[in-house]
Chains A and B, each alone.
Chain A
Amino acid sequence: MKSSLAHAKILVSEDDGNKAKGYRTSCDEELGSKIFEEKLRKFKKELNRNYESLIRTQIPYESLEEPITMADTKPLIASYPITLEQLNKKIPEVLKETGIEKCIQCGTCTGSCPSGRRTAFRTRVVIRKALLGLREDLLKSNDIWLCTTCYTCYERCPRKISIIEAIIALRNMAAAQGFMLPRHKEISKYLVSYGHLVPINEPNKKRRTELGLSEVPPTVHSHPEALEEVKKLLEVTGFTKLVG
């Protein structure tokens, strides 16, 4: 319910904005009709009642008026790291390098998404919300965590938008804000302790021996000094603190 209403707000607002600028919108024909005016009023009433906080986080429409350059269609990658300082900036600005402002909302991404096929996750909506800067809605929702990073949408997007880079950037922001799934925190701790997200265990030591492999692989598992290096990097990049 929540997400469909939030979505409705986005669509209504988009049409409002375009109308004001004199652009044709998909709703032009309907716009004059009483039914549409009635629908619009009802939507706005509900949304204002339930989504004040979301509306507050929405960015002004001026940023959508930036001209889209057709020339640059090579994939663009987000700028990292996403620092706390940047978190206070508008999401579309932070994600600018992913090219999301070129999105034409065609839905090819959603139509290609194996995760969206069985969940309410809609890639196109995530991109739209990011453009609008619906920060809380994005960072607190499960949607951004349902992407398997299969890259199908990226390969098919007619605007060559770096969709996965955008989702990864949003996940980095969410994690920095403390929105991490409990299980993700749990497995991260294995990396911090062992240098492997999936460390060796007794049954697999046995399997290795059976196969004539070394009981423990020649990785950090066999080299304590190497594990110290990994721990140092986890420390200086802030990972240990993030998942601690």
Chain B
Amino acid sequence: MKVLGELRFAFFLGCIMPNRYPGLEASVRRVFEKLGIELVDMKGASCCPAPGVVRSFKFDTWVALGARNLSIAEEMGLDIVTGCSGCYGTLRDIWYEHREKKEIRDKVDYYLSQIGKSFKGKIKVKHVLEVLHFDVGVEKLKEFIKKPLSNIKAAVHYGCHILKPSDKRPWKEGTEKPRFFDELVEVTGAKSIDWKDKFMCCGAGGGVRSGALDVALHMTKEKIENAYASGADCIVNACSFCHLQFDTGQIEINKSYGTSFNMPIIYYTQLLGLAMGLSPEELGLHQNNVSVEPLLRKLGVN
């Protein structure tokens, strides 16, 4: 029997979650609080750093800054939880390579010694969904659902780095048709619908959003069109960068393609929070660029 009150994590924020979409941060904090899971701040943590750009420019910088962030949690004696799949990719991949390869351990030792820190690999790195799926579990989550979101059709967007590279991830369902995220969505009462290219990238990663915005938006546009075609009420994601790409990106798409998309973009703990009885304001839903009003109206929340 799991006692949720015993779960404590170092909460890694990254950049986009606290600095562009603080609503996502608030939703993770409030949902976890309700579940009785303690999140402790990682004082002085930095950018993860971003796997698509920093790792692409200078591999060693990526390892050194990532290891520094890991070392902060190790000092706290807590496993990390993060709600951004980019941060998850960086921290988990570095954690994994540190465990597997002496070459990486030597690098980490050398660079961290420059700032009087060290990392020994004693902690783990988890995604918010990983904690909810493995540590809490769908059955337990059910007990917390107060207002089932019964008439909502959700287009679930897994995103890439929560799943892949699969040899460095905890899921045991493969990468072509996993179900764990759909199950987490369906526990809220919403229906996870089938949609074309559900597992396709949002377009933002790998430095493509910053380096080739038109290519990134073209990808996002295809995904949003597919979501519309499937009759979805919203796109549900689990990554602050995917969230930004779908939400801010939608405004950019409307500008450059003359479209008038207004597909609500919901981060998973915002959806779960609604079902747990938290208000849209507490979950920061009103701070999205694309209005979530149509969704809330359908739910009868507002």
Contact = CB atoms under 8 A, between A and B. Distances in A.
A142 B212 contact: yes
Interface in B22-47: 22-23, 25-26, 29, 41-47
B249 interface: no
A208 B13 CA distance: 13
B280 to A, nearest CB: 12
Contacts of A79: 103
Given A151-B165, A152-B164, A80 B60 contact: yes
A237 B61 contact: yes
A8 interface: no
Nearest to A230: B46
Interface string B251-289: 000000000000000000000000000000010100100
A233 B43 contact: no
A177 B217 CA distance: 29
A146 to B, nearest CB: 6
B52 A149 contact: yes
A243 B44 CA distance: 23
Given A81-B59, A213-B22, A115 B215 contact: yes
A82 B57 contact: no
A196 B44 CA distance: 11
Given A188-B53, A218-B41, A233-B115, A212 B26 contact: yes
Contacts of B50: 197
B215 A118 contact: yes
Nearest to B244: A198
Interface in A43-72: none
Given A149-B205, A232-B115, A239 B166 contact: no
A150 B50 CA distance: 14
A197 B54 contact: yes
Contacts of B203: 114, 148
Contact of A219 (B18, B20, B101, B199): B18
Contacts, number: 221
B115 A184 contact: no
Nearest to A188: B57
B59 A229 contact: no
Given A148-B205, A219-B45, A172 B56 contact: yes
A184 B44 CA distance: 25
Given A149-B206, A233-B61, A237-B64, A118 B175 contact: no
B290 interface: no
Contact of A80 (B42, B59, B199): B59
A198 B49 CA distance: 11
B28 to A, nearest CB: 11
A103 interface: no
A2 interface: no
B18 A208 contact: yes
B160 interface: yes
B47 A184 contact: no
B124 interface: no
A234 B47 contact: no
A211 B19 contact: no
A239 B56 CA distance: 11
B58 A172 contact: yes
A212 B46 CA distance: 22
Residue with the highest number of chain A CB atoms closer than 10 Å, among B26, B58, B63: B58
B206 A219 contact: no
5 contacts: A115-B215, A119-B215, A217-B13, A219-B13, A242-B57
